[in-house]
Amino acid sequence: MRSLCGTLLDSLARSGQAVAVVDHRAAGSPLIFVNAAFEQLTGYRDHEVLGRDWRFLRSADADPAAIAALEAAVAEARPVTVELRDVRKNGEVFRDRLHITPIHDETGAAVFLLSMHSDVTVEPDRPESGSRPEALHEQPGVATEHARRAGTVSRASGGWEWDVPGRRLYADARFAELYGLAPGAAAGGLPTDTFFAPVHPADRMRLRIAVAGIMHGADIFAKEYRIINPDGSVRWVAARGSSRRGADHELLSFEGILTDITDQKRVEEQLRIVQTAGGVGTFEHVSGFGTVTVSDQFCRLLGLHACEALPVRTVNAVVHPDDPPLIGGQDDDSSYREFRVVHPETGEVRWLARRGEHRDEGHALGVRFIGAIYDVTAAKEAQEKLRQFAETLEARVRERTKERDRVWNNSRDLLAVVGEDGILRSVSPSWTEILGYRPDELAGRHAFELLHPDDVAMSQAAFRAAVHDHGLTDFETRLLHRDGTTRWTSWHTSHEDGLVFAYGRDITLEKARAEDLHRAEEQLRQAQKMEAIGQLTGGIAHDFNNLLQAVYGNLDLIRRKPQDSTRVGRWAENGLQAAERGVKLTAQLLAFSRAQRLELRPVAISALLRGMEDMLTRTLGPMVRATFDLLEGEHGVFADPTQLEMAVLNLAINARDAMPEGGHLTIETRLHSVVHDLELAPGGYLALRVIDDGIGMPPEVKARAFDPFFTTKDVGKGTGLGLSQVYGMVRQAGGATRIESTPGKGTAVTLLLRLAELASGAALSGEEGRADDTTAKAATVLVVDDDPDVRCFLANSLATLGYLVVEAKDGHTALQALDEANPDLMLVDFAMPGMNGAQVASIARTRRPDLPIVFASGYADTAEIDAVGMGTAVLRKPFRIEELEAAIVSALARD
């Protein structure tokens, strides 16, 4: 068979036409060849059908007339075309247009039948020409040529044969249908001009030229043109033909196949528009082939001239050498691929993307890859910009990191990152300089390990606060240097993402300086104190000398003239008055030392201030005019009278010093009511104001005016204790101090004192203890004093008052006497060498719990006296005999 048909059959088999070859002379007329298209059409694989009777496809309801026509033609070995109902493997019935041609050998014998099949089931609105399927074309010559012609075309749709010498055009039913001819007439032959008759005028000339080419010697013919149907619609057809020539190359016939490509054209057009509009180029490549079938848009995208096929190398040569090739390459998968193409002429670089699919169609040839490419330059550029942005951002971050690293590395402060567990994550190099440890030695260690043992608990609490509450600010703690010495550090922390960032400063030096400063201040204060003491003692000595002079002189006069009873009485009174002044002076001194117990009680303020008038006038000197502007009537305030006097005196002295050129001092009292005050409880107060018109105080001085030892006076001029004493006394009394001052205008200090109910006569102290002399008679008093003069005076006084007296010179003797003499009362000096009065009293109490004890003291630690317990009284030295008597009587009466 191959020898008969040669390459023709091969070509035919490769074409899309379903083809089978039948050995009709063998028993059972078996099929001996089917092609892939046949398999596709019928659904059978070749091994399933080869050897079977070629008639097996027929449906049971196949048209008997058509079968008869077919069998008759086969029997006569002539070609035939019929339409039959055939059955596919899956049972589906289809309309099979069957074209059978005998294949003749050299002798002219029909040795095989070539059958060509096509499914015409779906062809729409076929005019049922002649109303029945029938043998359309029974002319032997034409049919033979069909078989031959099929070798040059891929799809036989409608066939024609132009008999050149006979000037007739023969055509099959399909051609007739496409050309709008009567099938019978077409088979019977028509004038050759029929070939051009329905052709669109715009295409007619082109077709004529092509046909002329054939007539003048061209071998092959290929034209696409339009046909106008009788109904006016236009169809595109593709005509593929060739010339057949005789022995002398004379043209015998021009034959060909006409295919309706309207749909194909439309699809092509749509595809073209899609490609152009969408900028998508398509290509098709079969693996192993050197060329690629491409679309125009494909070529345009690559910057190449439009054509249908390009060498793979040309296509890939356009692609940037660094990028994957467009076609093939390693792992030529169907995945997305991006690459740059360099325009061959302009050199412009564009980014393209490729997508596609492999279609394994079972070809021996290879795998078909159908792909599309499109321009992604804009997206790529955007991507690139984004990348650059990210890069510059990265660079900026790097720069920032570098800056931060520089800070970290060069900082002289202690920088540390600490976990919430207190483990040091990292520390800055400055730690080495300050604490002697290298950063790598510290990382991983617990921060608390470095703490001074005394600061551990406090620092742990602070660290907890840094983690849970808020960052630390100026938190000071001590750390230990590697060499064991201490470093003071001050810390700030911030807490972020589970880490504590700590910034520490070495303040050891500052601390040392502060300590030095503090010491210096202390020394200065001490010096000032000494200076003040010097000043005081000087003043006191002067006053004492004066009053001693008075006492001395009067006593001297009494001794000289004891008989002059009237003058002795006056002299004694003068001496006592002088001694009285001494008492006040020492009281002030004691108050100044603040060792005195504050005796808060209602004080008649106006009387107190009036009582100070003389002393103030004397103290202020002639340059200062003092005015008292006091409330009408008497008002009681809660205060210690002695202290209050001291306070007023201090204020007056300050005022005097603020008026070096002299001035006016006013002391006034006003009522003041407090409803809401930070310092004061609501209630009635008395405002005692000391006002001067002196130099005033600047704000910074005013702010510190009440600080102890703060003084604006030159060294030696003041102790700095004045206002602090005032402030302390007033606060203790439940009041407050206010200060108003304007530089150059003067100062007003206000003492707000709680108003208190005055018991009648309460202000008069020292009078209530007087008792009848007789009540105390015969009581034994143990007198304990280390000073023999005082002891002697006391003993004499008590004896004068009628008491029995036992003397003891110290605590030890006193305790002995206590057992031996069994006294009714112990009068004991407080300040004694060895056991002091309080200690003696305590021991005495253990033996005689009910023993009345009177302390006679010039200087008394009130706390110690209080510790002795109930039944004690304090008699302040110096005292007059009347005061002694009252105290004794009162103590014995309490017993």
Residues that bind another protein (CB under 8 A): 7, 164, 167, 192-193, 204-206, 208-213, 215-222, 243, 249, 251, 304-305, 307, 310-311, 313-314, 317, 344-345
Look at residues 38, 49, 30, 31 and name the one whose alpha carbon lies nearest to residue 13.
Answer: 38
Which of 243, 282 has the CB closer to another protein? 243
- Phi-psi map region of 336: left, alpha, beta (phi>0 left; psi -120 to 50 alpha): beta
| Element holding 1 (H helix, E strand) | none
Look at residues 757, 736, 729, 688 and name the one whose alpha carbon lies nearest to residue 599.
Answer: 729
The answer for residues whose C-beta is within 8 angstroms of residue 515's C-beta and 6 or more apart is none
Which is it for the CA torsion 131, 132, 133, 134, positive or negative? Answer: negative
Which of 224, 786 has the CB closer to another protein? 224
Shortest distance in whole angstroms from residue 210 CB to another protein: 6
Which of 211, 838 has the CB closer to another protein? 211
CB 582 within 8 A of CB 589: no
Write the DSSP string, 31-50. EEEE-HHHHHHH---HHHHT
Tokens linked to 559: 């001794």
- Helix ranges (H only) for 635-753 are 641-658, 699-703, 722-732
Q: In what order do the strands lie in the sheet with 220-228?
A: 190-191, 168-171, 158-163, 251-260, 234-245, 220-228
Shortest distance in whole angstroms from residue 311 CB to another protein: 6
Tokens linked to 360: 């394994």
Shortest distance in whole angstroms from residue 304 CB to another protein: 5
Number of C-beta neighbours around residue 579 at 10 A: 16
CB 479 within 8 A of CB 458: no
Shortest distance in whole angstroms from residue 214 CB to another protein: 9
Which of 7, 566 has the CB closer to another protein? 7
500/469 Cα distance (integer angstroms): 12
Which of 195, 369 has the CB closer to another protein? 195
Which of 302, 887 has the CB closer to another protein? 302
CB 339 within 8 A of CB 324: yes
Tokens linked to 568: 């002795």
Tokens linked to 97: 């247009």
Question: In this structure, which amino acid lies at residue 158?
Answer: G
Shortest distance in whole angstroms from residue 218 CB to another protein: 4
647/567 Cα distance (integer angstroms): 39
Shortest distance in whole angstroms from residue 206 CB to another protein: 5
Which of 306, 530 has the CB closer to another protein? 306
End-to-end Cα distance, the chain: 161
Question: In this structure, which amino acid lies at residue 446?
Answer: H
Which of 308, 394 has the CB closer to another protein? 308
Shortest distance in whole angstroms from residue 340 CB to another protein: 18
Look at residues 661, 666, 650, 660 and name the one whose alpha carbon lies nearest to residue 714.
Answer: 660
Give the single-character DSSP code of 55: G
Which of 9, 427 has the CB closer to another protein? 9
Which of 87, 304 has the CB closer to another protein? 304
Which of 307, 799 has the CB closer to another protein? 307
Which of 11, 619 has the CB closer to another protein? 11
Shortest distance in whole angstroms from residue 209 CB to another protein: 5
861/410 Cα distance (integer angstroms): 60
Shortest distance in whole angstroms from residue 166 CB to another protein: 12
Shortest distance in whole angstroms from residue 337 CB to another protein: 21
Shortest distance in whole angstroms from residue 308 CB to another protein: 9
Across the strands, what pairs with 114?
21, 101
Shortest distance in whole angstroms from residue 367 CB to another protein: 20
629/620 Cα distance (integer angstroms): 17
CB 143 within 8 A of CB 78: yes
Shortest distance in whole angstroms from residue 5 CB to another protein: 14
Question: Strand 853-857 relative to strand 825-829: parallel, antiparallel, unpaired?
Answer: parallel
Shortest distance in whole angstroms from residue 70 CB to another protein: 33
Q: What is the CA radius of gyration of the chain?
A: 68
25/441 Cα distance (integer angstroms): 104
Shortest distance in whole angstroms from residue 264 CB to another protein: 19
Question: Strand 601-604 relative to strand 251-260: parallel, antiparallel, unpaired?
Answer: unpaired
Residue indicated by tokens 């009130």: 862
Which of 218, 443 has the CB closer to another protein? 218
Shortest distance in whole angstroms from residue 208 CB to another protein: 5
Question: In this structure, which amino acid lies at residue 251?
Answer: L
CA torsion, points 472, 478, 480, 486, in degrees to nearest 10? 150
CB 292 within 8 A of CB 310: yes
| Element holding 393 (H helix, E strand) | helix 377-410
